[in-house]
Amino acid sequence: LAKTTQPISMDSYEGQEVNITCSHNNIATNDYITWYQQFPSQGPRFIIQGYKTKVTNEVASLFIPADRKSSTLSLPRVSLSDTAVYYCLVGDIGDSWGKLQFGAGTQVVVTP
């Protein structure tokens, strides 16, 4: 399993862009990178998934360099409601997702 490392916490102000980088040096060829968001007292919510280069949806962008040893989740113009824990997961999309490990995640705090 690819081990992931991400910062424990990040602070930001409303309206700023937040970038969270996840390291996954031993990512395998068939592994995809997935990010989840978790609010207090709720289950995690799928945000975005990618394999290489850049993926964008209505919530975030995911940047993956050519060597795929890291990835960066970008949250544009954050608001107070983006305060949450963000998890980076790496795993084989064709394999059972049950083998993935969430880790401690990154606590993002957005202030006015």
Partner 1 sequence: NAGVTQTPKFQVLKTGQSMTLQCAQDMNHNSMYWYRQDPGMGLRLIYYSASEGTTDKGEVPNGYNVSRLNKREFSLRLESAAPSQTSVYFCASSGRQDYGYTFGSGTRLTVV
* Interface contacts to partner 1, rule CB under 8 A: 32, 34, 36, 41-46, 49, 87, 93-94, 96-98, 100-105
What's the closest the beta carbon of residue 44 comes to partner 1, in angstroms? Answer: 5
Residue closest to 55 by CA, chosen among 73, 67, 43: 73
Rounded Cα distance, 20 and 7, in Å: 8
Tokens standing for residue 22: 């996840």
What's the closest the beta carbon of residue 46 comes to partner 1, in angstroms? Answer: 3
What's the closest the beta carbon of residue 15 comes to partner 1, in angstroms? Answer: 28
Rounded Cα distance, 44 and 102, in Å: 10
Name the residue nearer to partner 1 (CB basis): 66 or 104.
104
DSSP state at residue 77: S
Name the residue nearer to partner 1 (CB basis): 81 or 96.
96
Name the residue nearer to partner 1 (CB basis): 13 or 102.
102
Name the residue nearer to partner 1 (CB basis): 6 or 70.
6
CA angle 76, 56, 72 (to 5 degrees): 65
